[in-house]
Structure formats: structure tokens, C-alpha cells
Amino acid sequence: VMGSQNWTACPSGTYQPLYGQRECLRCPIGFQCPERGLPVPRLCPAGYVCDVTGTARADQPCPAGHFCLEGTATTATTCGHARPSSALFPTRLHAERHSTAGTGFGREDERPQLSLGARNAGCFSNRTDDVGLQLSSVPGRFWQERHLLPLDETSPFNPHRGRYCLDDACLRLEDADDLSVVDAHFDYIAYGANLRRPVPCPPGQYCQPGTAVSRGNMRNFSAPQPCAESMYCPEGSESPSGVGSCPRGHYCPFGVRLACPAGAFCPRDGLSSPIVCEPGFFNGMVGQ
């Protein structure tokens, strides 16, 4: 109080930027207030999520399969279930933890909300047993008339036939790097820092809880780690094995799924490199 001889520093989890105030303000979402007497809250550190008000010290680690930059303000993700599926899976935001000021409220009884995260390895195939169509760039309905068959070994060609699959990418939201949050007392625009969502781990790598950076470093487990050879790790993978063995028609050098090229074949799961066609045999299609 103005003119008073006695005053009390705001406890951790709160702040107060003005003089002569009777009470302290709870730390806003996306920030932490780890010390007593803070006039300004501090941005949530990398590797953690500050998704509730009154956070004294960030102790909610970044969700598995993601990395969190400074100012991550939600645990909601857009990668759906660990294994790609066409279904939507429910997720919950984490409740207030022991480091928050006040008792808050629990969310155990709340009905979970669906998180957008459906993805599925959709594939399509236009393979054919017709040798001419395998090697020709001319559409099939014209080939029977033109009878083009590029047999010249010195003429490079790009295969147009075979089996093609989508990349199992996570959904992208427009507010991923500029999450909108409203607080009655804190001006996010004036502070000048954007709040963020967790970022999916890159393909071919996996992220443990608390991952804080985007670039891999095998000596630092707070960074993305390379996946095991012959395993398939799409975006948002949580373990070295990703979603399992590399599927047939593909090969996976250290977690990255690649379509089997023309001139080779991948007849079984779990291949780390394609098998070259034996002498006397050929393959003019991809993904076989």
C-alpha cells in the first residue's frame, strides 16, 4: 500500500509490475515466475510447457515425439496416435502441478477433448505388367496406339508407374508459432514474444519428453535422436523403433522411409537398403 512502512514481496508463481498494489498477479500462461518479488514474468524455457497460470517453475516436460522452443504454452499436439491412423484420438491438457500457486482445480473428471491428429499412410498404385507401360512416360490409353518402348540403355527415364505413399506428416496449424492467449492483466503483444505449440520431431528421428532443440545431437538427449536402421520413424516419433519395421516396397536407412527405386525391389519388411535386380531381370517401377 502506498505510504505503508511494511510491504511483502510477491511469492513465486506471481508477479506485480506496478507500485502501490494490494495483491499480486498470477503468472500468465506461457511464462514462469520462479523467484519472489518479480515485476515481470519470465518466458517458459525451452524443453518445457507452461500451460496453466501461476507456474512457479516450469516442470511440465515437452510431450514425447516433439520438441518445445521458448514460450511453448500448450501440451496439445497434432500428430494423433503414435501409430498413424485415420481415426481421431482424444488428448487432455495437463492439470495444474505442484509448482503452481494456489490449489487450482483438477481436470480428472473433465471430458477429454479430441485433438486434431488423424493421419494415415495412404498409398496408391498404378503398376502394370506391361513392359512398355512400365518404361514409357506416355499415359496407358495412348500407349497401345503409339507402341512406344524406350529400350535404349543410354536413355535415362523417370519411372511413372509403381506404388506411391503419403508422408504421414502431422497436421499444421496456422497458430503453431503465434498461439493466441488472453489474460486479464498481462499484455502479450506489448511483451513482444510469441507463444508456441510443441513442434513434431523431424522424420527419421525420435524425441524423448523434454526435448528442447530442433537439431539432432547424439551426445545430448535433450535433442532429437536418430532412429534405428530399418525402422520407420515418421514425424512425431517417440522411440527409436518409430512405428515399426520399414514396410515392403520401401527401405529405411536410419528411420527415413524411401520408395524402392526402379532397378531394385524390396520384397519384405525391415529393409535398410534396396535389393538390386539380378542379371536377366529388371524392374521399371518404383515401390515394388
pLDDT range class, residue 124, cuts 50, 70, 90 = confident
Mean pLDDT of 18-36: 89
SS3 readout for 61-120: ECCCCEECCCCECCCCCCCCCCCCECCCEEECCCCCCCCECCCCCCCCCCCCEEECCCEC
Q: Which residue has the higher pLDDT, 128 or 103?
A: 128
Q: What is the H or E stretch that residue 258 is in? A: strand 258-259
147: pLDDT strictly greater than 70: no
Lowest mean pLDDT among 58-72, 93-107, 188-202, 228-242: 93-107
**Residue written as grid cell 509403381:** 162
Lowest mean pLDDT among 24-28, 169-173, 257-261, 266-270: 169-173
107: pLDDT strictly greater than 50: no
Classify residue 98 by burial, with Cβ atoms within 10 Å: 0-12, 13-18, 19+.
exposed
Displacement of CA 109 from its chain's centroid (Å): 28
- Cβ neighbors of 74 (< 8 A, separation 6 or more) are 49, 51, 93, 179, 197, 198
pTM for this predicted structure: 0.74
Hey, how many other C-beta atoms are within 10 angstroms of the C-beta on 45?
17
Percent above pLDDT 90 for the chain = 15
pLDDT in tens, 212-245: 888 877 777 788 999 988 999 988 888 898 888 9
Residue type, 57: R
C-alpha cell read off for 5: 512502512
